[in-house]
Homo-oligomer: A and B are copies of this chain.
Amino acid sequence: MTKEMDNILQRTEILIEALQYVKRFNNKIIVVKYGGSAMIDEKMEKSVIQDVALLKSVGFKPIIVHGGGKEISNWVEKIGKKIEFVEGLRVTDKETMEIAEMVLNKVNKGLVQKLEEFGVNAVGISGKDGSLLKAERKCLNGLDLGYVGEITQVNPQLLYGLLEKGFLPVVAPIGTDDEFESYNINGDDAACAVAKALNAEKLTFLTDIEGVLKDPADKSTLISELMVEEAKKLIEDGIVNGGMLPKINSCIDAIENGVSRVHIIDGTIAHCLLLEIFTNKGIGTAILASSESRFDV
């Protein structure tokens, strides 16, 4: 067989594979949690934006939920405030909250701007718009962290309205409580809550790691596919721990509340979203409800 023919065969195979996913996810809602390194490196950002634009153009309904991480700290320092963390959660006084919100909205509109550059009609909203995210003050072992919120309710009408009208929603994780006080909300939690409220087909976390590793020290031990039950076992056995723990718990929560499949993928790989969605092999770790093989979808 000639090289040329071999090439054509491979191309055909990739096409057939990809087109089956186009068909499968038509009109399906895919929530992408965008954060971490993929957000800082400009080239990576562009690759993510392009992927999301492409997903939308072939008939999917993507929603981006983003964080603000490092930029918040930068701005807090800019105005001369000290940054304080308790168990990984930023202690957020009124002024910090004000800055956090400004930074998140800045990031939010920045993403909108870049999506528009790729020809996508995007709309940047926060959890305040249309009362999307209702929250309450988070309790952490009795410690007062200030304006750090926990989601109590999602009102998805605005998201449905924007999707129906053909806009791509970009969501900043800010919520209000019943007294309409503002709260900073963890981005992973917000993405998970939105995916659950909309019964999203997929929830994808773009992270700085390859996925779930059996041996965190050995990248070759990546788990491609994880049933909810197995994931719980990994937590029990202490294999999943540290920063990974709350993320895996979010995944389990999502799957148990109507989301079909959750992905943890390495946001620093160019076009990671396309590779995950349109190829059988995928990249990263997929968490799903039961032993239905991911390769059979």
Contacts and interface: CB of A to CB of B under 8 A. Distances in A.
A105 B78 CA distance: 19
A116 interface: yes
| Interface size, A (range) | 35 or more
Classify the interface of chain A: helix, strand, loop or mixed. Answer: helix
A208 interface: no
Interface string A104-129: 01100100111011000111111011
B182 A113 contact: yes
Contact of A122 (B114, B130, B269, B274): B130
Interface string A237-260: 000000000000000000000000
* Stoichiometry, copies per complex: 6
A1 to B, nearest CB: 12
B124 A112 contact: no
A235 interface: no
A131 interface: yes
A297 interface: no
A176 interface: yes
Interface in A192-227: none
Contacts of A15: 14, 18, 271, 274-275, 278-279
